[in-house]
Structure 1
Amino acid sequence: MGDMYFMGLSGTKFFKHWPAMRSEYDEISMQTCYLETFKHDGELMIPAMRVSERLRAVGLDPNTPPGAFQMRPLVYKMFINQAQRLGIPFLFNKRVMGYFEDKNKAGVETDEGEKFEADIVIAADGIGSKSQAIVGGKVRAASSGRAMWRAVFPVEVLDKDPEVREFFSMKGEDPIVRTFLGPGAYGLTLNREGTVCWIINHDATGTEAESWHHTVSSESVLQNMDKSLTSPTAPEWAPILKKLIALTPPDTIVNFELFWRNPQPKWHSPSARVVQIGDCAHSFLPSSGNGATQAIEDAVSLASCLELGVKLDGKGAVPDAVKAHVRLRFLRCACAQKLGFSNAERLQDTDWNKVKLDPKKAQPKHPKWVWAHDPEEYVYGNYEKCLKGMRAGVSLDQDPNIPPNYPPGYKWEPWNIDEIMRDLDQGIPVDLGSGDWD
């Protein structure tokens, strides 16, 4: 299920160990993708350029893109293929209803009463994870007042309208992402071989849910999309974009409500035999372009901590390895979450006068501290130092022996969504805090 997302470079570095998966990833990636930027009304602001050219235009290294656009189903299939090549069995259609642990093992129980036990259980079941009961309770979700209409369908659908087919076409043989940036809302479209995607971030209309299964009609979108613009004098959305939405097949458009959550400081159970990764540990706004990347970084970091811990002390080291993993990840993920709020503000309230001077203002921030990180090497270089500091009670951002994997110079200051929402309501930009976030 799902459509397009951004796969950050830091979430792909471990592919070096798996050449078959690396090859499959390269095959499905949109490495030669073009980007084109419009005002929401259709006025062209930045002409179509390859990602490498766009990077060069804003002063970045064209040979080191911070990531690549991907299709969720293709990446899911890639991971399954690799696991099957390694002989790792999968059990599908098992609904986990609860987690349990004792000092030496952990397990899950399904809705059919089955129990599965292991040395460690990794909860990767997303927002609303049943693991919250054993980890420490569900982190309160606050409605952002925002939602996303998002759809994906076969390119043949566009044949019904030649004008739409011509406008929303690939760039020769290469995929292209088009962004439509307006006051209080933004849209993205993707054309790749055989597939069309579109996404619009908008004010909540009361018809959304936090679910991939909740669909709405194209008529509902067309009735509400102009209402999502926060400027009363703004022109309507581009007619060509509206025509694309009108062509979207029934039961295709997901209206996904976006919730904000505070940083969750605890990701593991009392005995550290159950550990959360991905969205159930730290959910991200789609505008961050970082949620999937951080989930994969979690997996690589946890695997590396377990590898080193077991080598040092055997299976008894699992709890310390889990705690070290969380210690090495929390600040990075909290900073990446906060960056997502800033990126949402950047996309929803584009200042076109500033964009003319600096095209970077029309795209999300992808700073080097995010994309240049290697979670495996970071653990290898800092695991034992992390254990030492952890046992001595030194906070991570005060440990001089561990280099930051978050903005250089940043010092942890607890923050919450209520403060951010209050500032945004008052027109105050998101305060990212100390350190170099660029």
Structure 2
Amino acid sequence: MDFKPLGSYPKTGINVLIVGQGLAGLTAALECVRKGHDVTLLERSPTYNSAGDMFFMGLSATRFLEHWPKLMEEYNSFSLSNAWLELRTHTGAVLGPPMPVTKIQAPGLNAGVPPGKFQMRPLIYRMLVDEAERIGVKTVYNARVVDYFEDENSAGAVTEDGTRYTADVVIAADGVGSKSQKIVGGQVRAQPSGRAMWRAAFPREVLDEHPEVKDFIPLKDGQPVVRTWVGPSTYAMTATQEDLIIWTMNHDVTGSESESWNDTIEAEEVVKEMDKLIGPLRWAPLLRELVKCTPSKSIVNFDLLWRDPQPTWSSTTGRVVQIGDAAHSYLPASASGGTQAIEDAVHLASCLQIGGSKENVPQSVDVHCYLRFIRNACAQKMGFANAELMQNTKLDEAKIDPQKARPRLAKWVYFHDPEAYAYENYEKAVSGIKQGIPQDENLEIEPNFPKGYRYDAWSIEDIQEDKKNGKPLNLGAGDWE
């Protein structure tokens, strides 16, 4: 399917208000402009928030960059495309020789083509923000949204200072706890997992004064190195780039964590926890030293909360719609959170363009939710399986096959094209909605989830009960691989 570049789509006359300047919000802004919509973006911070570390960006998310050649070039310039992957125990023992990421074989992909790439959050955020500014997206900073509203013909948001912003459709991309929940409804209760993640990123030059740590966190042949450290009920990752160091560590909750990128802690708190035994042994001493080198206000203690699939993403009139974490949150080990947020944005912008007018916004939003819910519910459930794999790695198996300690990346995830899917299935979805046929029973629509799967509502309680009884996670019928 031949899609058009920026400026080629006719103006739709649809005014879009986007709340939140994260991955979902920024991608939605770019794609909505490309599809001919008028965009205003609200961000609560005083400037763009580059906090964060590393995430996996799957092929299904990066396909939209094909329509942004300069972005694709920049993306490839700082992606960890030539990274080396290494697996160690939490004590530092190497479980296998480093392997280039290009050697990861994925079903259906040519040799040397990975199912996605490791990405540095600070760099990709800066790239997307710069492009939004270049194409003229109106961005309002210091605009903390405290309320949403709607009627039959429009919707809007109210900021902390009382300013009201109105549009034909509001895209709530403001993460978990979005105030849009007030009129969207269907919010699921967050449940504590008992786990959290320390996450940090800082300039590599900081290690110039600590040569023993810099040698311990090296480049390999001038290329980045991504290390996974696995231990009893925990794991960590470190990534070395030419000018950036990233580390993350899964740990028991300490009381200072929150589900936010804005709250930081100091290295001393982390080191104190690292000095406790992990099983019979402690973390590798030089990994501890790396943490000690981390600059002040660079470590986020991110709470990991569990949520059932959220059944409702849009408001009664269809003028407010949630995307990204506001609609479906993921655990970090899922390797899907960022990918699905970007997919949401591309898909929704396309649905609005196909609908073609502000009068058809509710229909476009309904189609978007109809075609995205089951896919995300499946990806969320697979995320729990990946988290279990990472936190309870079988070291004997991983030493023989390091893939045993890496998250699964399913073919039904990375082969998907959210833009093409919207165009191919929009009218079929409209028909299915009118007839009351669920997506997984609509034989006219090729599934964007595991083939053979029929949606069966599941809950965290079910997963915990199975785990308690020693049962493996039941993903359900269908081809999950």
Q: TM class, shorter-chain normalised?
A: over 0.9
> What SS is found at the alignment partner of 1:201?
strand
State the partner residue of 1:4.
54
- Maintained 8 Å contact 1:151/1:199: yes
Give the partner amino acid of 1:11.
Answer: A
Q: CA deviation at 1:114?
A: 1.1
1:27 matched residue in structure 2: 77
8 A contact 2:416–2:448 mirrored in 1: yes
2:103–2:112 CA contact under 8 A, matched in 1 = no
Q: Is the 8 A contact 2:104 2:114 kept in 1?
A: no
- Return closer, same or farther for 1:89/1:207 CA change in 2, 3 Å cut-off: closer
CA distance in 2, matches of 1:321, 1:309: 6
Q: Which amino acid aligns with 2:100?
A: R
Which is worse superposed, 389-398 or 215-224? 215-224
Paired with 1:166 and 1:192, the residues of 2 have a C-alpha distance of: 13
- The DSSP-based 3-state class of the residue aligned with 1:255 is strand
How far apart are 1:33 and its partner, in Å? 1.2
- Which residue, out of 287, 291, 295, partners 1:249? 295
Q: What stretches of structure 1 of length at least 5 have no aligned partner? A: none
What TM-score do the two structures reach when normalised by structure 1? 0.94
Compared CA separation, residues 427 and 224, structure 1 to 2 (3 A) = farther
60-69 or 340-349: which moved more? Answer: 60-69
Amino acid at match of 2:321: V
Conserved 8 A contact 2:145-2:159: yes
Opposite residue 269 of structure 1, the aligned amino acid is S
Q: CA deviation at 1:49?
A: 1.6
Asked whether 1:115 is paired with 2:160, we answer: no
What is the identity, as a one-letter code, of the residue corresponding to 1:299? A
Pairwise CA distance, 1:41: 1.4
1:305 aligned residue (347, 351, 356): 351
Moved over 6 A (4+): none
Specify whether residues 158 and 321 from structure 1 end up closer, same or farther in structure 2 by C-alpha distance, changes over 3 A only.
same
| 1:45 corresponding residue in structure 2 | 95
The TM-score, its normalising length taken from structure 2, stands at 0.86
Aligned to 2:380: 337
The corresponding residue for 1:316 is: 359
Residue 37 of structure 2 corresponds to none
In structure 2, relative to structure 1, the CA distance for the partners of 1:159 and 1:323 (3 Å cut) is same
How far apart, CA to CA, are the structure 1 residues paired with 2:422 and 2:57? 21
1:318-338 superposed Cα distances (whole Å, 9 cap, x missing partner): 101100000100000001111
Q: Work out which of the residue numbers 106, 112, 124 in structure 2 matches 1:75.
A: 124
Alignment partners' CA distance in 2, 1:253 and 1:218:
7
1:223 corresponds to: 272
Q: Write the letter of the residue equivalent to 2:74.
A: E
Residue 28 of structure 1: CA displacement? Answer: 2.3
Partner deviation per Cα, 1:307-358 (whole Å, 9 max, x = no partner): 1111xxx322110110000010000000111111100110111112322444
* Match in the other structure for 1:198: 247
Q: Which amino acid aligns with 1:235?
A: L
Q: Quick one: which amino acid aligns to residue 121 of structure 1?
A: V
RMSD between aligned alpha carbons? 1.8
Instruction: For 1:149 and 1:336, locate their aligned partners in 2 and report how far apart those are by CA, in whole Å.
Output: 23
Question: Residue deviations 1:213-259, cap 9 Å, x none?
Answer: 33333232222236473x4xx42222221121222223322211110
Residue 96 of structure 2 aligns to a residue whose secondary structure is: strand
Q: Is this contact kept in 1: 2:60–2:413, CA < 8 A? A: yes
For 1:26 and 1:92, locate their aligned partners in 2 and report how far apart those are by CA, in whole Å: 29
| Contact 1:288 1:344 survives alignment (8 Å) | yes
Give 1:218-297 correspondences, 5 Å limit: 218-225=267-274, 227=276, 229=278, 231=279, 234-297=280-343
Give the secondary-structure state (helix, strand or coil) at the position aligned to 2:367. helix
What one-letter code is carried by the residue in structure 2 that aligns with 1:408? Answer: K
8 Å contact kept, 2:81–2:102: no
- The CA distance in 2 between the partners of 1:293 and 1:95, in whole Å, is 25
Verify: 1:166 aligned to 2:215, yes or no. Answer: yes
Greater Cα offset, 220-229 or 146-155: 220-229
Distance 1:154 1:136 in 2: 42
| Maintained 8 Å contact 1:184/1:228 | no
CA distance in 1, matches of 2:232, 2:275: 11
1:215–1:251 CA contact under 8 A, matched in 2: yes
Alpha-carbon deviations, 1:252-290, whole Å to 9, x = none? 222111101110010000000000000000000001111
Unmatched 5+ residue regions in structure 2? 1-50
Counterpart Cα distance in 2 of 1:93 and 1:155: 30
User: Greater CA deviation, 243-252 or 336-345?
Assistant: 243-252
- 2:14 alignment partner in structure 1: none
